[in-house]
Amino acid sequence: MRGVTHRYRTHATAPAVLSTVNLAIPAGSSVAVMGPSGSGKTTLLHLMAGVLRPSEGSITWRGQDLAAMSDRRRTRLRRADFGFVFQSGQLLPELPAEENAALPLMLGGTSRTEAVAHVRPILQRLGLAGMTRRRPGELSGGQAQRVAIARALAGSPGVIFTDEPTGALDSSTGAAVMHQLVAAAAAHGATLVVVTHDAQVAGVCSRTITLHDGRIIADHAAGGAR
């Protein structure tokens, strides 16, 4: 991101919720975004993920500027290159775990058999081997969130974005899910960007960026300041 500023309203006096943010994230790294409520974390995530277009500045992904793209192209790129894990899984209650995980592939035109065959080993690596036929209602919160992680990985994304992925889990389950998310992203070569207000969650990532009033006020590697 270079010189990224964002206002939700277009008039000149609208407040900038992000101001001239400069940020480079190396491929394959895991980054936590922290900061108080209202500091701009979700906005930053949505800009990086191409959900929002910035008011000013550029956001480059694999040589392409997301800020300069049409909404249609950005949507296509988002579907092809990015994976998302939401706070409470957002799984479809009537589908078994393996079909929930396979859904992005099926929506992209892959047959159900092929899509499920692709996600089964991912689910197994996440410790869900015996549960692939269970519906979300038959899974614990932590298990359901691991299905959501498998779904985010199904399309082999370059980046996984997630906003408070453990927010609905108790802290020990949340910590376990976070470790699995980081390990699964690394195993798939995906970059990981995690918004969280939980220092324990952030501690699992290799780098933490702190926002305050729409500006980056700290940027630390896991082993210390950089």
Least Cβ distance, residue 165 to ligand ADP (angstroms): 14
Residues between 5 and 24 that touch ligand ADP (CB under 6 A): 8, 17
| DSSP label of 37 | T
What is the Cα–Cα distance from 3 to 47, expressed in whole angstroms?
Answer: 12
CB of 167: closest distance to ligand ADP in angstroms?
12
Candidates 3, 22, 27, 38; binder of ligand ADP (CB under 6 A) is: 38
Window contacting ligand ADP (CB under 6 A); options: 39-47, 73-81, 130-138, 165-173:
39-47
3-class DSSP state for residue 39?
coil
Q: Which residues bind Mg ion (CB under 5 A)?
A: 41-42
Contact between 34 and ligand ADP per CB under 6 A: no
In the complex with ligand ADP, which residue's Cβ is closer, 32 or 184?
32
CB of residue 10 to ligand ADP, shortest distance in Å: 11
Beta bridge partners of 191: 159
Instruction: Spell 82-107 as b/e; 16+ CB within 10 A means b.
Output: bbbbbbebebeeebbbbbbbbbbbbe
Evaluate whether 169 touches 149 at the Cβ level (below 8 Å): no
Q: Indicate the residue among 144 and 160 with the shorter CB distance to ligand ADP.
A: 160
Q: Which span sits near ligand ADP by CB under 6 A: 33-41, 69-77, 147-155, 182-190?
A: 33-41
Contact 51, 195 (CB under 8 A): no
- In the region spanning residues 106 to 145, those forming contacts with ligand ADP, defined by CB under 6 A, are none
Residues 68, 123: Cα–Cα separation, whole Å: 37
